[in-house]
Structures are given as structure tokens and as C-alpha cells.
Amino acid sequence: MANIAGSEQQTPIRLPWKIFWVGLIVRVLYITLAHTYRIRLFEDHFQFGWEAGRVARALVTGYGYADPFQGHTGPTAWLPPLYTFLIAASFKLFGIYSPLSAWFILTINSVFSALTALAVYEIGYRCFNPRVALWSAWLWALYPAAMQFAVKWVWEMTLTCCLFTWIFVLALRMRDNGGTWRQWTIFGVLGGLLALTNATPTVFLPVAALWVLWGVPGHRLQAFKRAIVAGVVAGSLLAPWVIRNYLVLHAFIPIRSNFGAENYMGNSPWSVGFPWGTTVPLENTRIIDEYHAKGEVQWVRDRGALAEEWIRTHRPEFWRLSALRAYMFWAGVPQPVIPHKEYVEYGRELNFTFGTVVGVLGLLLAIKQRRKAAWLMALAFLIYPLPYYFVTVQARFRHILEPLIMILAVNLFQSAEKRKLAL
């Protein structure tokens, strides 16, 4: 056990490290016994990290941060570098696209996922009670849907979820006293690492900081100064990446360069509200050649201009697609149904929708009960998904909110149980 003492708490919170170890062991056993580290060879191992895996391969073979698709197409900022560097490290240590590399990176994913269980415990403890905290943490450690991205996907979801959830924990610790210099510095470090992992959740960072500052009793100037330092720390971590992009790609790219291309995929004459296939089809040599000839920055700008023109001339359809994406973010994104296995898809959608329903009901109950951070949770639910509503949506995007959904659901059912016993 470890003592985590929030200065606003009279009693330190003891994090249950046993839950972390059980969650980690279960995940690693599943990876090993289910052979999820044996990734398909389809399209030259593209499912091994997709674009991140391609760039990692370029890094370890001497081409630099480049080549996110097929062939040697030049430097890229298609995605931020942190998780790509982790894949590159696994390639360097254990071989490019090797089963051992996959096992290693999925194990790292599992560490992030198991660490999230400790954050879930602390949020449940601070916002509700020890019983909610314990049940929520154990559910996160053992519930299959919570661990699926850790054990099957070589992608950044578990790292992003871990960073986002611990940023939420820090906001809770700092709320009542404005935070110490050390806490705000850690907040800045985690915020910088989040930006270097996934751009979209960074919209929550200023919201969390303002929520902390709003709760400071009396004079807020000292806390505001510390918040500014947190911003400087986060910016300092991001700065080398921004400078590299400007020097190499000759454009100001704060986090990633692909927005125009993704916007074109989501808002164009053939858009259906969610992506079928990849933004750059690997089998389409014409598009690959065009991407290579123009360079990434110009190619993405051209695609973005087409998307903006389509949105301008098709407003009703754009709003219809946006509403559909908002629905699918919370109800599940359809997947191709395998013949004779329709029940698997129906079960997946039912489980996904059930999580949303109990999470939203739990949020409404938390607001009614005036629980600590209930409105911060509501802001996370409202603000984080907005970019996806207007551009693109996939089921994995909701994973970042699932720790909060799980805590709110546990409190909902425990509150219902207490009411039933009272009757």
C-alpha cells in the first residue's frame, strides 16, 4: 500500500496496490494464453500499431519520424510521438513487428490500464465513499470490457485513459486548497504527456484547471500563479515537438497534422457518419502517390479545403451526420457483422449502450446528491466528445470516459440498494 495524502483530507487515502497487481496479472495472462500478441500479417503488419507502428519502424530503420503508410513517403506529424516512441522502443529491443515486441507493448498497455484502477479507487473514495471506491476499482481491474484495449490493441487508448484519469485525480486533490507547487507541476507534466499522446482530451485541461481555481477559498492569486506554471511546464514538454514540426515540415503543427484529412473522411459526399476503411487507403496507389508527391502538409490542407466546402454547401446533411455521430459515440459504432455471429455484435452494442445509460443516470444522481466533482464529471461528458461529433467517431474514443462511467454506475446501483433496504 502507498499513502497518498491530499492536504484537504484529514485521513490519508491508502491506495489498494493489490488491485493493481491482480489487474496487471490478469491482463498479462490473457495476452499470453489467448495469444493476442500474434498480430495478423494483413497489409504488412499494419494492424500492429497502424500508423504508429509504421512510423516506429521508420524510426528504428533510420528514416526518422516518417512513413506512416506504405513506402518511404517522407516526414510526418500524422500523430503525436509519445506512444510511437514506446512502439519504437519495443521494436529496438525485441524486433520489428515480432510477436515478442507485441507481447511487450501490450504488457506496457496493461500496466497503464492497471494503474487506472488506482485512480478509479481514489476518485470513488473522494467523490463518494470507500465502498464505491473498492467496487469500482475491482470492476476496472477485472471487467473484460475495461481491459480489451490493453490486451488486444497496439494503440494509445490505455495510456491516454490513464493520463486523463490521473489528471482528474489531481484536480480533486487540489480543489479545496488550490494545490501546492508540486501538485500543479505534476498537473503540467501529465498535461504535456497527454498532449504528446492524444490531442482531443487536452480540451479538458483548462476546464479542470478552472474548476480547481473556482473552488479555492478566498484569495486565488497564488493558485492562479501555480496554474500558470503548470501551463508553462506542459508547454515546455510539447515545445520540442512543435519546433521539430516547424523545422521539418515548415508549418505550425501543435500536436498532429491530420485534421483536414479526417474532416474530409467524415464530411464529404460519401460520408455515412463513421469511417469505413482508413483515411489513407493502403491499397489505393493513386492516393498514396498523391500524398507522397504533395507532401503531408499540403495534401492534408487540400483535403481539409474540400471538407470545408462540402460543409458550407451541405449544412443540413452536416448537422444530420453530426447528430448521428453524437448518438454513436454513446450508443456504439456499427461493425461489419460476421455471418452466423450476429449475436456477438448485438451483445457488444447492448453492453456499450448499457454502460452509457447507467453512467448518465449515475451522473444525474451524483449531481442531485451534490457529490464532489459531479459537475466536473458532467463537463468531461459534455466537452471531451465534441470534436468527435463534428468530424469522426469510433467506439474506442469513449474509453477515456469509462473510468468515470464505471464509478458513477457503481454509486447508482449502491444507492438503489440502500433505498431498497430502507423500504
* pLDDT tens track for 175-222: 988 899 999 999 999 999 999 999 999 999 999 999 999 988 776 788
User: In Å, how far from its chain's centre is CA 18?
Assistant: 25
Mean pLDDT of the chain: 92
pLDDT mean by block of 10 residues, the chain; 423 residues: 40 87 98 95 89 98 96 96 98 97 98 98 96 97 94 97 98 90 97 97 96 84 93 98 98 96 92 78 88 96 97 96 95 71 73 94 96 97 96 94 97 79 57
DSSP assignment string, 234-300: HHHHHHHHHHHHHHHHSS--SS-S-HHHHHHHHSSTT--SS-SS-SS-TT-HHHHHHHHHH-HHHHH
Helix (H, G, I), strand (E, B) or coil at 2: strand
pTM of the predicted model as reported, rounded to 2 decimal places: 0.93
Place of cell 496554474: 227
**Cβ atoms within 10 A of the Cβ of 72, count?**
10
Q: Which cell numbers in the block locate residue 315? A: 449544412
- Take residue 413 and report the three cell numbers written for it: 446501483
> What is the C-alpha separation between 418 and 423, in angstroms, rounded?
9
Q: What local confidence, expressed as pLDDT, does residue 334 receive?
A: 80
pLDDT for 12:
65
Task: List beta partners, residue 2.
Answer: 15
Residue by residue, DSSP assigns 315-377 as HHHHHHHHHHHHHHHHH----PPPTT-HHHHHHHHHHHHHHHHHHHHHHHHHHHTT-TTHHHH
